[in-house]
Amino acid sequence: MFRRPTNHRAFIHSAFRPPLQLRQIRNMTPDHEPNETPAAAPQEEISKSALKRAAKEAQRAALRAAKGVRQTPEANKAGSGSRAAAKKEKAETKVIEPIFVNNVPEGDKKDMSEPMASGYHPPAVESAWYSWWVKSGFFEPEFGPDGKILPAGVFVVPAPPPNVTGSLHIGHALTIAIQDTLVRWNRMLGKTVLFNPGFDHAGISTQSVVEKRLFKATGQTRHDLGREKFLETVFSWKDDYQARITNQLNRLGASYDWGRARFTMDPVNQQIKFQTQPDFLTYPKRLAPLMISNYPKLLSKHLFGLHDEGVIYRSNRLVNWCVRCKHCSFK
């Protein structure tokens, strides 16, 4: 019977230790003689690996010598110094291009006969093109010889008008880029395309911004200034930021038809530009005759129509009352 060992470590050692005969075979030489110097084998392996490394190093040295590369540290330092000197000389001899000045008259095509610059300079590349595109009418909707919509169809984007409360931000750039991509793609498909720009007065938001600016600059409120003077201040703000927004939209390169640009509080006598019948736009046909007259009447007619349909109504309800501005703010 198997006897249980008293020492567990001795049992594990004996259980996993090779048998005596196998140990003797491992220590035998090829002539079946006992190996008297078992410690010499590791030295022999180390020497073989060292020989292999030496052979590889000699091979690399021969390749470097064939390419004419010097191996001395002094030569390496001299080589690095010469490379640094060559780089410095190249930097010193770099051509300094003159500052770009756009001399192209507004709306004229850029002269491309001048030599191309060595690097990409965005203002030099982008200047003058947009005004020429607009003047050439590239962004206006195209119609057939009979003045009707092209057979491929129609595609209209009434651009959501940005508020004149401030300058545009990166969110506007993203939205406009997506809209303009769709507009240009449908224009390439041969459709009658309109990308209609506009600006929104933003009502209470613009009033609040102007009031803050007025109080910060003069310490006055709109009540101190009076209604007429305050309205002049608001429209001065509107003109300033509408010009800024227009410049930003132009720099984005959006393919707007600027002949149809609208502001939600345009004067009554300002006409809308049409090349053909106004049914081309995506407004209800019952409003088409008013579109030629003026924009404010169109808005009023549209609001009155919504009131007659019961969409807009007057009633006694809880409202959002601003205690600072002293008026009701809509949701």
- pLDDT for the residue 63: 83
- pLDDT for the residue 282: 41
HSE toward the beta carbon, residue 126, CA cutoff 13 A: 8
Residue linked to tokens 């800024």: 244
DSSP reduced 3-state for 328: strand
Domain boundary (213, 230, 265) is at 265
Same domain (yes/no): 235, 252: yes
Same domain (yes/no): 208, 227: yes
At 57, give phi and psi (nearest 5°): -65, -40
Say if 193 falls within a structural domain. yes
User: Residue 156 region, left (φ>0) first, then alpha (ψ -120 to 50), else beta?
Assistant: beta
- pLDDT for the residue 134: 93
Task: Write the CB contacts of 288 (distance below 8 Å, at least 6 apart in sequence).
Answer: 277, 278, 279
- pLDDT for the residue 102: 85
C-alpha pair distances (Å), 166 with each of 43, 206, 233, 248: 82, 9, 15, 12
Say if 60 falls within a structural domain. no
- pLDDT for the residue 258: 92
Domain boundary (234, 249, 265) is at 265
> Which segments in the chain show pLDDT lower than 50?
1, 11-12, 22, 40-43, 269-293
Distance separating alpha carbons of residues 101 and 124, to the nearest angstrom: 8
- pLDDT for the residue 191: 96
Condensed to tens digits (0 to 9), the pLDDT of residues 14-33 reads 555 555 554 555 555 555 55
Say if 8 falls within a structural domain. no
Say if 98 falls within a structural domain. no
- pLDDT for the residue 83: 73
Distance separating alpha carbons of residues 171 and 177, to the nearest angstrom: 10
Distance separating alpha carbons of residues 211 and 300, to the nearest angstrom: 27
Condensed to tens digits (0 to 9), the pLDDT of residues 233-275 reads 999 999 999 999 999 999 999 999 998 888 888 765 444 444 3
Same domain (yes/no): 326, 242: no
- pLDDT for the residue 113: 85
Same domain (yes/no): 278, 298: yes
- pLDDT for the residue 133: 94
- pLDDT for the residue 172: 94
Domain extent, residue 317, equals 266-331
Of 82, 135, 76, 83, the residue nearest 105 (C-alpha): 135
The CATH number for 192's domain is 3.40.50.620
Task: Write the CB contacts of 328 (distance below 8 Å, at least 6 apart in sequence).
Answer: 319, 320, 321, 322
The number of residues in the chain equals 331
- pLDDT for the residue 173: 95
Count of structural domains within the chain: 2
Say if 159 falls within a structural domain. yes
Domain boundary (220, 240, 265) is at 265
- pLDDT for the residue 302: 84
Say if 137 falls within a structural domain. no
Say if 59 falls within a structural domain. no
- pLDDT for the residue 155: 96
Same domain (yes/no): 226, 306: no
Same domain (yes/no): 202, 257: yes
- pLDDT for the residue 123: 86
- pLDDT for the residue 17: 54
Q: What is the pTM of this model?
A: 0.60
The end-to-end CA distance of the chain, in Å, is 94
Distance separating alpha carbons of residues 318 and 313, to the nearest angstrom: 14
Same domain (yes/no): 188, 259: yes
